[in-house]
Every structure is written in structure tokens, then in C-alpha cells.
Amino acid sequence: MTDSKKITSKSGCPIADIQNSLTAGERGPLLMQDFQLLEEMQSFNRERIPERVVHAKGSGAYGTFTLTRPIPEYTKAKFLIEEGKKTDVFARFSTVAGEKGAADAERDVRGFAVKFYTEEGNWDLVGNNTPVFFIRDPYKFANFIHTQKRHPQTNLRNNNSQWDFWSLNPESLHQVTIVFSDRGLPASYRHMNGYGSHTYSFINQDNQRVWCKFHFKTRQGNKSMTSEESANLIGVDRESHQRDLFYAIDRGEYPSWTVKIQIMIETQAQTFPHNPFDLTKVWPHQDYPLLEIGVLELNRNPENYFAEVEQSAFSPSVFVPGIGPSPDKVLQARLMSYPDAQRYRIGTNYHQLPVNKPQCPVMHYQRDGAMSNGHGGSSPNYYPNSDENAPKEAPEYAEPPLNLGNVAVDRYDSREGNDDYSQAGNLWRIFSDGEKERTAKAIASAMTGVTEEIKMRQLCHFFRADMEYGQKVATALGITIDATKFLSDK
């Protein structure tokens, strides 16, 4: 037998027997030294990770997105500006309200999430099979989901709770109408459309912004079930949609969707008859026609469900240059809540799992945490730093300010127009002569081992606060310096 076929412990130690425990005699008690048994039992106890609060029951597959119509006039995202370019993807479909044991064919909204592994990083489009949702303010989300889950006393689904919430929130009517129409019971994941639902932004090479909505139109044709057909199917197969997707791909019948977008320029958004970022409403197609840009095809099944589907993690906050958020309030909240849920469910380093890992280089200053693969080695784990080989900011990717009328959303330089020296200098000047000497010596002592480059840079700041301050620290450091040359450049 080759080594590659030997069963081992998690640390790689070959195991002779995994069917019989180590005991004191044939009928004797177990021994604590049977570390193989302990590892087996302890691993089993930890096999499950917390269930997703929503979208718990899901199916997934790999595939490609092929760009058929480049849109450089709208976005600088590289995977959207080169005709014919193929981008690897992973897609996950799901029910929304049901737990992991729920039936696939239940009446419900369906999740439609796609992870694009682009050359500039991952982009996650985390949507549904509906273009709208039940709420327009994120404050209502948790309360709405509570009505879709189980009653706190009976632990049963409760129609009264659902309709109580919907009747008190008329903005839900659009989505309620969709869910109780034929669209609420798609025949399979292959036979339904997908939508980004929210409004997103595109930014082009000229730093011009437009608003965008994403549509995935099934090329298999829309098919649905009646309530009676759904009930009958659930009675014989609770995994009907997962079974359909897996074996269709296994047979080579690769499902595909035509990817389309709607575009709204900023001036149109200002005169739109209602809030264009309202998640409960659509943009009329006659006013904002669909523009076909590509094809999404799923053509490879996962090798392991847990590793690749259950541990897959999506978040609307995962963007690439040229694609960004909008003022949609629900989207804004999801930008925080989704990655927060993934960190709770899988761990802070969930990005390093193969299904979530970008296919481009990853460089950042976030380190450590459970299950880290150790990005960065011995390089600095902070920024800014003086290491020429460390990752640097890329200001060329900055988005243009978002004009909100009397204020603009932007990243404002906190040092711009600020005086960082006067108050430090004033403090220095009230010190006694003895305290000045002690302060200078303490600073010099704390700079033991610091490079000359950093010492000189810091001396600039001391001199700008007070000439005497800088001179005393320089003297304590044993550095002879012409202080005047530091005063011109602040």
C-alpha cells in the first residue's frame, strides 16, 4: 500500500485501526490515551458550523461568465470591458426563510448569489429571484425575518405573524404579490431568473458615475409549479431543486442565464418619480431598457458540499474597482451585516477558504485570527510604514465624490487644514527646564534601534512644534542638525 492510501490522523500520523477502540482487556473500559478515538469524537462534535439565519438551505455550482458586450462607457471593471473575456464564478441558490432541513419546493423567495473571481479581486452579487424585497428600511429586516421563522412559544411557522407584519407595512405588497404568484414556486433553480435587486453604481475610467441594476434571465425558460404540484413534490423529494441542479450539470446540461443591466444617469435619478434606490420598486423597462452584456453558465459541480457550498460566503460589500454601492438604505446595512454574519458563522479568515479565496494576489495588513494561513510573513502589519516592498495605497482607484445636495460623500483627508504642531508646542513650552530634559531623554531612549530615516522624519515634527523641542531631542539622540531646513515643508 502506498503512503497516499494510508488513513492518518489530522496531523498526518498513520492509523492502524479506526474500527476498534483501545481498551483495558477485551471487555474493559476505554483508555484516555486513545487519542485517535478522542480526535474522532471531538471532530464529530465540531462538524457543524452555525446555520445561516436566512438562506440556510442552498445549492451551488461553478461556472463562467462570458462578456458579450463590453461596457467601458459605464465601468472600468476589467472583466466588463474586454469582449469575450471569461471570468470564473461560483453561484449559490437557496430558499430564504427555511432552515437547512426545509424542502426546496416550498413557496418562498429564492436566493441568487454569484461570486465572480475577477483579476482585480472577487465581486459578489448577492440577490434573489425577485427584483424587489419586502422592506425599504433595514431597521425592519430582523423583525420581518422573525415573522418568517418560528413562533417563540409553539416553534411552528405562524401565518398570523407574517400577515400581521405585512398588513402593517404596505411597502411589502409588491414582493408579497410576487411570492404568491407563480414566481413564488419556481420548478427548479435552473428555471428562474436572478436579480441584484438593489441599485449599484458603475464608475468608468473618466470617474463618471451611473446607477445600475442587474438581471439574470434564465435561458432554460421560466417554469413554475402550482401549490398542489409543490405539495406533491415535497412529499416525495425534499431536495428536488438541489437534485435537479446537480444532475443536470452532471449530465452536461449546463444551465445558463443571459446577464442584462439597466442604467440610470445621476441627473435621471434626481428627477425619477420616486426614490430610485427604493428596494420595494423597480425601474420601468420602457424607460430604462435592458442591455445584454454577457452569459453566465454553470458547468462544474462541487467536489464537497460542506467545503464549497456550506462554507461559501457572500457579501454585497465585496466589490471591484468600477462597481460600488448606492444610497439604498437596505444595501447600506447589508454591506455590514453580511460579512459580520460570515465572520460569526465561519471565522474571521473565511476569505482564505478555497471557495472564497480570490484568484488574484491578496495583500493587506489584517493578520492573525482563527485559522489564518499567515499572510504577510515578517513584513509590517500596520500602515503607513516605511517598507518600500510593503503594499501601498492606490489612489488611482478612488471613486468620485457622491453629491447629496448640500454635502458630498467622500474620503476627506483628516490632516488637510489641520495644525498638528501648535498644541504640542504649547505643552512643551509650559514644561520646566528639568521636565524638558527628562522628556527629551525619554524620547531618545524609546528610539533605541529605530532607523536613521525614521529618527529624522520624527525630528521634523518635534522642530515644527518648537525649535527647542527638536533641538533637545536631537541632542539626546546625538544628532547634529540644521533645524531650519525642516521648517519650510510642513
Q: Looking at the structure, do residues 67 and 14 belong to the same domain, yes or no?
A: no
Give tens-digit pLDDT for 151-196.
999 999 999 999 999 999 999 999 999 999 999 999 999 999 999 9
Last-in-domain residue among 352, 369, 404: 352
Classify residue 328: in a domain, yes or no: yes
CA-closest candidate to residue 352, choices 389, 319, 391, 307: 307
Classify residue 109: in a domain, yes or no: yes
Q: Looking at the structure, do residues 228 and 274 belong to the same domain, yes or no?
A: yes
Q: Looking at the structure, do residues 182 and 310 belong to the same domain, yes or no?
A: yes
Residues marked active site are found at 55, 128
CATH number at residue 99: 2.40.180.10
pLDDT of residue 42: 86
Classify residue 339: in a domain, yes or no: yes
CA dihedral 79, 85, 86, 91 (to 10 degrees): 40
Cα within 13 Å of Cα(13), Cβ side = 9
Does residue 311 contact residue 345 with C-beta atoms inside 8 Å?
no
Q: Looking at the structure, do residues 266 and 302 belong to the same domain, yes or no?
A: yes
Distance, in Å, from the CA atom of 412 to the CA atom of 209, rounded to the nearest integer, reads 19
Q: Looking at the structure, do residues 10 and 63 belong to the same domain, yes or no?
A: no
pLDDT of residue 358: 92
Distance, in Å, from the CA atom of 436 to the CA atom of 451, rounded to the nearest integer, reads 24
> Taking the model in full, what pTM does it have?
0.91
Domain that holds residue 12: 1-47
Classify residue 417: in a domain, yes or no: no
Q: Looking at the structure, do residues 43 and 66 belong to the same domain, yes or no?
A: no
pLDDT of residue 84: 95
Q: Looking at the structure, do residues 8 and 32 belong to the same domain, yes or no?
A: yes
Last-in-domain residue among 290, 320, 352: 352
Classify residue 165: in a domain, yes or no: yes
Classify residue 365: in a domain, yes or no: no
Classify residue 171: in a domain, yes or no: yes
Distance, in Å, from the CA atom of 219 to the CA atom of 190, rounded to the nearest integer, reads 9
pLDDT of residue 370: 84
CATH number at residue 8: 4.10.91.20
pLDDT of residue 490: 47
Distance, in Å, from the CA atom of 323 to the CA atom of 162, rounded to the nearest integer, reads 35
CA-closest candidate to residue 263, choices 274, 254, 272, 255: 272
Distance, in Å, from the CA atom of 296 to the CA atom of 343, rounded to the nearest integer, reads 28
As for how many domains the chain has, the answer is 3
Scanning the structure block, which residue is given the C-alpha cell 444610497? Answer: 327
Q: Looking at the structure, do residues 132 and 12 belong to the same domain, yes or no?
A: no
Q: Looking at the structure, do residues 127 and 206 belong to the same domain, yes or no?
A: yes
Does residue 436 contact residue 463 with C-beta atoms inside 8 Å?
no
Classify residue 103: in a domain, yes or no: yes
Scanning the structure block, which residue is given the C-alpha cell 490515551? Answer: 33
Q: Looking at the structure, do residues 288 and 434 belong to the same domain, yes or no?
A: no
Q: Looking at the structure, do residues 115 and 217 belong to the same domain, yes or no?
A: yes
Last-in-domain residue among 331, 352, 373: 352
Q: Looking at the structure, do residues 256 and 112 belong to the same domain, yes or no?
A: yes
Low-confidence ranges of the chain (pLDDT < 50): 490
